[in-house]
Amino acid sequence: MNAVQSDALVFFGATGDLAKKQIFPALYGMVEHNELHVPVIGVAFSQWSLTDLKKRAVESVKAARPDADKATLDTLLSLLSYVDGDYANPSTFTALKKALGDAQHPTHYLAIPPSMFGTVVQGLKAVKLTKGARVVVEKPFGRDLASAQALNRVISRAFPEEAVFRIDHYLGKEEIMNLLYFRFANSFLEPVWNRNYIESVQITAAEAFGVEGRGAFYESAGALRDVLENHLFQILALLAMEAPAYRGYAAVQQAKTAVFKAMRPLTKDDIVRGQFEGYRDEAGVDPTSDVETFAAVRVFVDSWRWADVPFYLRAGKELPMTAHEIFVSFKRPPQALFEDAVSRHHHPNYLRIRLQPDSVIALGARVKTPGEEFVGDKKELVVRTEHPAERPPYERLLTDALAGDRALYSSEESVEAAWTVVEPVLEDHHRAIPYVAGTWGPEEANDLLLGDDTWRVPTLKEN
């Protein structure tokens, strides 16, 4: 059954940071690709006028797209209108209803702090703007399991589950979609993709910058809630999931949810939290803050396929580089036929998948060096994927939401299952350990690694 195409896009948080950095450029891209033909109504409580919002839209598009052309930009501006008002005030929603005119199937996008989701949903419901509509909810979806469940209850009183689109923009990235494709469009991986052959899996999401003016937001989130529990868990789920039982969105959702459900809830000693020195001086940050800007965890997926295989995940700000990489270490050959190939610190075989800043899949293998001796070298078989026409994730995701396509969105069940894994350590944890900006976080993160494993520094360039 084809879903109904939305006939308006409402976005709350129109004057905010996300709108500036991501949403206006995405809307521009949608116009450019002939995917946006409906009115776009920005909503915020900033005492702005439509002129201010248009000015912001132009600045934001030009910053992201120096090649922006005037005609496309003018089309975007012609679609734009604006409602200013307090989300707690019913008159804001009356004004929105008026601005929506006879639209029957609006998509409401909540690009606002999670603490406001409930208020806005209730406001929409009170003026019957939820009927026939969809809602797109930004991450983090709740602050913990209880608040996610409460939010799901509020939302489900106003929208049926099929109208709820929980965004994790990582799912709209080419490199992340490729994980699903790479795993299940090939047959060679499956026989070795399990505890019999895989020693450990690492996922690193490093950012060389700090909180960039988002101190107040960060204080309510921290690295665990901001990146690790959602973006990195999604990557983990794609790596660890079973093959979807049939084609289609629901099967992928089920398979991913099963991974979250099989993950062993974290204990205090499975996580190391760090805070870069200087964070407490940021605007909006408590000078005694214990919020982490770095989090590393060791987690197990207690499934038939993955029992006892550690998954190590780390995410942080002010690290030495901006790069996301997956490193899957395979077990050593069972016998040391060649002395040089199996020394303790070699990982003779691994699969390295770089997701950012560019997309690379590399298979590490040892290859004999020409000559009499049976000695060799580590080599990589490298696939580099170029994405000349890659669409930014928000462009893809908002286009899908307007079309009612939920394939790249998360279900209530999977969101709650993911929170369940981190729930025990959200409040009950060791203090964040200071680290110097430009380093790989606190040394204590090494203690999470079992055996002789070491954290892999993402490779930025292949030899």
The set of residues, in sequence order, having a beta carbon less than 8 Å from that of 78 and lying 6+ positions away, is: none
* Candidates 231, 324, 347, 429; catalytic one: 231
When the beta carbons of 145 and 227 are compared against ligand BG6, the nearer one is 227
Could you tell me the two tokens for 90? 């019913």
Size, binding site for ligand BG6 by CB under 6 A = 4
Could you tell me the two tokens for 190? 């499956």
Residue 230, helix vs strand vs coil? helix
When the beta carbons of 140 and 348 are compared against ligand BG6, the nearer one is 140
Q: Between the CA of residue 175 and those of 148, 222, 254, 401, what are the distances in Å?
A: 28, 25, 21, 20
Phi/psi for 388 (5° steps) reads: -60, -35
Q: Is 108 part of the annotated catalytic residue set?
A: no
When the beta carbons of 125 and 324 are compared against ligand BG6, the nearer one is 324
Rounded-to-integer distance, Cα 136 and Cα 6, Å: 12
Write down the least CB distance from residue 358 to ligand BG6, Å: 13
Phi/psi for 438 (5° steps) reads: 90, 5
- 36 forms part of the interface with ligand BG6 (CB under 6 A): no
Q: Contact 315/294 with Cβ under 8 angstroms? A: yes
When the beta carbons of 92 and 293 are compared against ligand BG6, the nearer one is 293
Rounded-to-integer distance, Cα 18 and Cα 42, Å: 13
Write down the least CB distance from residue 227 to ligand BG6, Å: 6
Could you tell me the two tokens for 27? 């809307």
Cis peptide before 140 (omega within 30 of 0): yes
Write out the binding residues for ligand BG6, residues 182-241 only, by CB under 6 A: 207, 226-227
When the beta carbons of 229 and 423 are compared against ligand BG6, the nearer one is 229
Show the binding pattern over residues 348-367: x = contacts ligand BG6 (CB under 6 A), - = does not: --------x-----------
Write down the least CB distance from residue 113 to ligand BG6, Å: 12
Q: What angle do CA 187, 189, 190 make, to 5 degrees?
A: 75
Q: How would you classify the pairing of strands 198-206 and 310-316?
A: parallel
Q: What angle do CA 236, 385, 207 make, to 5 degrees?
A: 50
Write out the binding residues for ligand BG6, residues 374-413 only, by CB under 6 A: none
Write down the least CB distance from residue 265 to ligand BG6, Å: 23
Q: Which residue is nearest to ligand BG6 (CB)?
A: 226
When the beta carbons of 318 and 412 are compared against ligand BG6, the nearer one is 318
Write down the least CB distance from residue 356 to ligand BG6, Å: 6
Residue 170, helix vs strand vs coil? helix
Q: Contact 447/269 with Cβ under 8 angstroms? A: no
Write down the least CB distance from residue 218 to ligand BG6, Å: 8
Cross-strand pairs, 327: 202, 352
Contact residues for ligand BG6 (CB under 6 A)? 207, 226-227, 356
Q: Return the active site residues.
A: 231
